[in-house]
Amino acid sequence: GENVEQHPSTLSVQEGDSAVIKCTYSDSASNYFPWYKQELGKGPQLIIDIRSNVGEKKDQRIAVTLNKTAKHFSLHITETQPEDSAVYFCAASRETSGSRLTFGEGTQLTVNP
C-alpha cells in the first residue's frame, strides 16, 4: 500500500518569511495529492490539492509543487502570517473507485509575530 512521509514535523518561521513542507510517497500509481490545514480544536480543512497532470498549482499565498519522477510534493506558503499557524497534513491516493487517502504524519507550523 501507499506510504507517505512528511517533513519537518515542526517548523517555526518569522512573520513574512516563507514556509516549505515536503512529502514523499511510495505508490507510483498515486495521482491525487491534497493538503489539509488543522487549526486548534477543529477538524482538518482542505486548502489546496494537485493532480498528476500538473506540476504546480497556486492559490494566493499558497502553492503546491509535484515531482512525479522523484515521487515528492511540497507545500509553499509565502508571506506567512500568524493565522497560518496550524498543523498541516499532506496526503496521496490513486483516486480510483476503491481508493482512499493516505496521510502524512503532520507538520506543526508556528509563525512568530
Partner 1 sequence: EADIYQTPRYLVIGTGKKITLECSQTMGHDKMYWYQQDPGMELHLIHYSYGVNSTEKGDLSSESTVSRIRTEHFPLTLESARPSHTSQYLCASSESRSTDTQYFGPGTRLTVL
Report the interface residues with partner 1, using CB under 8 A: 9, 32, 34, 36, 41-46, 49, 87, 89, 93, 95, 97-101, 103, 105-106, 108
Residue with cell 504546480: 56
> Which is nearer to partner 1, 27 or 78 (by Cβ)?
27
> Which is nearer to partner 1, 10 or 81 (by Cβ)?
10
Output the CA–CA distances (angstroms, integers) from residue 113 to 8, 37, 54, 82, 110, in the order listed: 21, 20, 34, 6, 10
Cβ 41 to partner 1, closest distance in Å?
8
How far is it, in rounded angstroms, from Cα 29 to Cα 80?
A: 33
Q: How many CA atoms lie within 13 A of 7 on its CB side?
A: 4
> Which is nearer to partner 1, 23 or 101 (by Cβ)?
101
Cβ 96 to partner 1, closest distance in Å?
9
Cβ 106 to partner 1, closest distance in Å?
4
> Which is nearer to partner 1, 78 or 99 (by Cβ)?
99
Closest CA to 84 of 108, 58, 55: 108
